Structure 1
Amino acid sequence: MSHPAWVMVSFLTELLSSYGGHGYNSNCANDTEIINALLKDSYNKHYLPSHPVHVRVDMWVQEVTSVSELTQDFEIDLYINEFWDDPALAFDYMNPCKTNISFDDKVLQKLWIPNTCFINSKNAAIHESPFRNVFLMVFSNGTLWTNYRMKLTGPCNMNLKRFPFDSQKCYLTFESYNYNTGEVRMEWNRPYPVMMLKDIELPDFELVNFSVVAVEQMYPAGWWDELTVSFVFRRRYGWYILQGYIPTMVTIVISWISFYLGSRAIPARTMLGVNSLLAMTFQFGNIIRNLPRVSYVKAIDVWMLSGMLFIFLSLLELALVGFMCRNEGLPPRVKKKKRTDDEDEDFSWKGVTQTSPHLELRQFWTDKRISSLRKDGDNNVNYDIPPEALALEPQISSFHTTSHRRKENMFRRVWNLMKRIKKIKAETVDFYSAIFFPLAYCLFNLCYWGYYLSDLSKVDLDADVTASIQEADAAAAAAAALLEASGSGVEPH
């Protein structure tokens, strides 16, 4: 038997022995006499035993069967215990043979109970195998002990920003459904409000911590005591390492093989890169299909998308190598013949619409005059040049020269850059890529694992949780102020 089970047995033994002290004798009252005296017609189950009734609560966790990210809840099997005093059920004055009597749920229905429930459970049911698992014990001093064996489905505050290195918090809230703090006061039973009957371990989670808290919550009908127990489950990420992280690492390394195949193996390199990208996409979809469609970025998203980026960059490197080797094996290009004067004249006319028509017309006449001077004098070609064009010839020539120099300098820079790129060989690009890509990926791994496996990501997550809690507290305070102002609330006990 585990240590928590021994603690529970010791606790119950001490509890039962504290009400002992009466030995058996022939003059003691048997169970039948006591039951007939307790369940007499004068007992009213609608009457409060005291004002207020103090109810002590503890629970024993038997098993946690599942924690679901899609539905954001967890399933748990537990025993819930309640203790309170009812002076009308005291029978120590009858000289009983036993200091306590056990009953089933049929007798419990005839007694006053605090009508407690889990207010935030999605589903709750009392086990009925083979009968309804409800236990009632009445002690001679009027103390009642009820025990329910239940199966519950409760909510979880799922935050998957650190998935699959995350920890999830699930909670259950227990309170009296009918009675406020003026009638029933709920409190955790000390010193063990929650006990684990076994170590809770799931295939993908393990229970690492639990805590309890008791608060007063305001409702339109008054203030209620709420007992909340929180369970912290830490995810086991071994499966994701084996099925997600290691395969993607291998896929990325396989995409780097193309750097060593040479510039002539373009089809093989293309097939290798595309297949790596498709394999990465398939692995990503296989992991996220069991996760809810959240709008924020998870740790697994950063890993997968970064891997896709590395493969995509390797494909871009392949495109650059293919561009540099596109003319290999082709015959040299034949230079074009020099344009004739007539072609120059036609070309000059094509630029008329590029700038102002007046400037182009003047430029046309200036070029015609220069061309006529260059020709042999025997041609005796004469053009009638307007005097306005002759007057503006120096200014137009200066403008044209400056613009031409700017364009020439720009084209010269581009041409020099192209010459430098053209001098670089495809093998050189592959050589440096084979060095740069692994180094960059190692640097990314250092940053990724150093962030998500340390407390840095937890600090950011705690800041988000604190902000949401502050917003919820502010909303609750505003609602309470509104209720008090409207006069519908009841002052706290």
Structure 2
Amino acid sequence: MDYRLDIYLRQKWVDPRLTFPRVGDTDHVIVSPKDIERVWKPDLFFPNEKSAAFHDVTVPNKLMRVYHNGTVLYSTRITLTLACHMDLRRFPMDHQRCSVEIESYSYETKNLLLEWDHPHGIDREEELDLPQFRLTSQKTEAQAVVYKTGTFPGLTATFDLQRLYGFFILQTYVPTILIVILAWVSFWVNMDAVPARVSLGVTTVLTMATQLSGSKASIPQVHYPKAIDVWMSMCMLFVFISLVEYAFVNALARGTPTKEKEDEEKKEDENDKRGLSTDTFVGPYVIEPKLKSPTTCGVTSGREAAIYLERVAQICFPIAFIIFNIVYWSVYLRPYEY
């Protein structure tokens, strides 16, 4: 919930006590760094600052010019870490609005007025390249801030930032889409190949769990769901359901043996223990063994139901995932309103 700035803070004011006669072409003098502290300066501070530092390499990065008419130009380089309240509900397709707040610490509006030097107030590189954001707009305003100790002058610069989500597309969204598609492959694997189906389902579930934990490690922890949380949770749900689907298919395919079937299998086991063959010779005749009929235990109907469920999953799962993608991207890529 913060961002870092490297700025040149330039201030300009008029101090009649510092006027001097102009000599030739020289209209200003440069004040040495050790004498800058002896000149009056506005007591500015940043209310939303978390940390800040002046630059001192190789010398203190401070510049002060005093012009013959008493105008003072004071410039210093500062690195700031400023607080920014971010709304991450659409992360990583989010837009953020962060500000730089500048106020006078002890001088009230009756003693000191602050204003931007020109309408924009901010000079920046035209091709400003940020690793995670794109600066879409900026604006400045001046206001009076009221505290219990009085009314103080203040300035605010606001930046509108759009997050660049290409990194997340490549590192999170594409891999999870492939994992979900890989989970669908099991629907086309023979239902009798139990080790292959179970291994594929468990592997995709564990891979999704790893992706989910990795995505949470790189973003702030907030109390509300983010867009990436919704995506990862739904992908995990699709992968988990594909594994559960095979449990139903396998149960239907095996069926539930009847009492008659159980007695027949028990009798066959006893004959096997005695070393008897199912083909018994009695004199010149041969008693043919009874053939196992799958219809006696309802296996045939269960097998048909399992095949039907597989075909339904082959069609419904991809359609459901496509519908989820349409809804997800239409919601989180809609125009942003502050």
Rounded to whole Å, the distance in 2 between the matches of 1:197 and 1:102 is 26
User: Cα deviations across residues 204-227 of structure 1 (Å, max 9, x unaligned)?
Assistant: 223222221211111122101111
Q: In the alignment, what sits opposite 1:358?
A: none
Q: In the alignment, what sits opposite 1:439?
A: 319
The structure having more radius of gyration, on CA atoms, is 1
Rounded to whole Å, the distance in 1 between the matches of 2:60 and 2:47 is 21
Q: In the alignment, what sits opposite 2:10?
A: 81
Report how far residue 246 of structure 1 moved.
Answer: 0.8
Residue aligned with 1:185, SS: coil
Q: In the alignment, what sits opposite 1:448?
A: 328
Larger mean CA deviation between 436-445 and 106-115 belongs to: 106-115
- List structure 1 runs of 4+ shifted beyond 6 angstroms: 328-331
2:98 alignment partner AA: C
In structure 2, the CA distance between the partners of 1:273 and 1:423, relative to structure 1 (3 Å rule), is closer
Q: In the alignment, what sits opposite 1:90?
A: 19
Q: Does the aligned pair in 2 maintain the 1:255–1:273 contact within 8 Å?
A: yes
Written as runs of structure 1 = structure 2, the 5 A alignment for 1:147-166 is 147-166=75-94
User: Cα deviations across residues 368-413 of structure 1 (Å, max 9, x unaligned)?
Assistant: xxxxxxxxxxxxxxxxxxxxxxxxxxxxxxxxxxxxxxxxxxxxxx
Rounded to whole Å, the distance in 2 between the matches of 1:179 and 1:332 is 97
Q: Does the aligned pair in 2 maintain the 1:114–1:178 contact within 8 Å?
A: no
Q: Does the aligned pair in 2 maintain the 1:104–1:134 contact within 8 Å?
A: no
Larger mean CA deviation between 160-169 and 320-329 belongs to: 320-329
In structure 2, the CA distance between the partners of 1:144 and 1:314, relative to structure 1 (3 Å rule), is same
Written as runs of structure 1 = structure 2, the 5 A alignment for 1:22-37 is none
Match of 1:425 among 293, 305, 316: 305
Rounded to whole Å, the distance in 1 between the matches of 2:59 and 2:302 is 86
Rounded to whole Å, the distance in 1 between the matches of 2:140 and 2:120 is 10
Match of 1:324 among 248, 252, 275: 252
Rounded to whole Å, the distance in 1 between the matches of 2:126 and 2:77 is 16
Written as runs of structure 1 = structure 2, the 5 A alignment for 1:92-131 is 94-97=21-24, 98-131=26-59
Written as runs of structure 1 = structure 2, the 5 A alignment for 1:401-412 is none
User: Cα deviations across residues 395-435 of structure 1 (Å, max 9, x unaligned)?
Assistant: xxxxxxxxxxxxxxxxxxxxxxx99x858421111011100
Q: In the alignment, what sits opposite 1:242?
A: 170
Q: TM-score, normalised by structure 1?
A: 0.58
In structure 2, the CA distance between the partners of 1:192 and 1:292, relative to structure 1 (3 Å rule), is closer
Residue aligned with 1:162, SS: coil
User: Cα deviations across residues 123-172 of structure 1 (Å, max 9, x unaligned)?
Assistant: 12221111111111111111111111111111122221111111222222
Residue aligned with 1:194, SS: coil
Rounded to whole Å, the distance in 1 between the matches of 2:119 and 2:237 is 55
Structure 2 runs not aligned, ≥5 long: 265-297
Residue aligned with 2:49, SS: coil
Query: Between Structure 1 and Structure 2, which shows a larger proportion of helix residues?
Result: 1
Match of 2:148 among 209, 217, 220: 220
Q: Does the aligned pair in 1 maintain the 2:186–2:197 contact within 8 Å?
A: yes
Rounded to whole Å, the distance in 2 between the matches of 1:208 and 1:239 is 19
Rounded to whole Å, the distance in 2 between the matches of 1:205 and 1:185 is 34
Report how far residue 200 of structure 1 moved.
Answer: 2.4
Q: Does the aligned pair in 1 maintain the 2:135–2:159 contact within 8 Å?
A: yes
% same residue = 35
Rounded to whole Å, the distance in 1 between the matches of 2:203 and 2:131 is 32
Written as runs of structure 1 = structure 2, the 5 A alignment for 1:60-459 is 72-91=1-20, 94-97=21-24, 98-327=26-255, 332-334=261-263, 422=302, 424-455=304-335, 458-459=336-337
Q: Does the aligned pair in 1 maintain the 2:142–2:156 contact within 8 Å?
A: yes
Q: TM-score, normalised by structure 2?
A: 0.83
Rounded to whole Å, the distance in 2 between the matches of 1:195 and 1:267 is 65
User: Cα deviations across residues 285-321 of structure 1 (Å, max 9, x unaligned)?
Assistant: 1121011221100000111100111112212211111
Residue aligned with 1:313, SS: helix
Rounded to whole Å, the distance in 1 between the matches of 2:128 and 2:215 is 25
User: Cα deviations across residues 249-301 of structure 1 (Å, max 9, x unaligned)?
Assistant: 11111111111112212232121111111101101111210112211000001
Rounded to whole Å, the distance in 2 between the matches of 1:174 and 1:327 is 75
In structure 2, the CA distance between the partners of 1:77 and 1:333, relative to structure 1 (3 Å rule), is same
Residue aligned with 1:164, SS: coil
Q: Does the aligned pair in 1 maintain the 2:254–2:303 contact within 8 Å?
A: no
Rounded to whole Å, the distance in 1 between the matches of 2:125 and 2:239 is 50
Query: Between Structure 1 and Structure 2, which shows a larger proportion of strand residues?
Result: 2
